[in-house]
Amino acid sequence: MIATGADIIDVDHLVPDISAFVSDLSAGQVFSGKCDPVTVIQDSDADYIQNRFLIGQL
């Protein structure tokens, strides 16, 4: 998928580790996703989401 040249590479939350693929990204490409939509979006609150994912405290 990285080789397609897409700007955003969506990663399913079940992928165990994406760190090995970071060096394969081209300039301007980013990963998106990697969070379980149920436990993160449905079962948590806005503060948790902002602090954990939007600010980048992984």
pLDDT in tens, the chain (58 residues): 788 888 998 888 898 888 888 888 988 898 888 878 888 888 888 888 888 776 654 4
State the residue for tokens 């998928």. Answer: 1
45 in Cβ contact with 22 (< 8 Å): no
In whole angstroms, give the CA distance from residue 15 to residue 28.
22
- Give the global pTM: 0.57
pLDDT at 58: 47
State residue 1's pLDDT score: 73
* Three-state SS at 17: coil
Would you state the pLDDT for residue 55?
61
pLDDT of residue 56: 53
Half-sphere exposure of 19 (CA within 13 A, CB side): 3
Tokens of 39: 């436990």
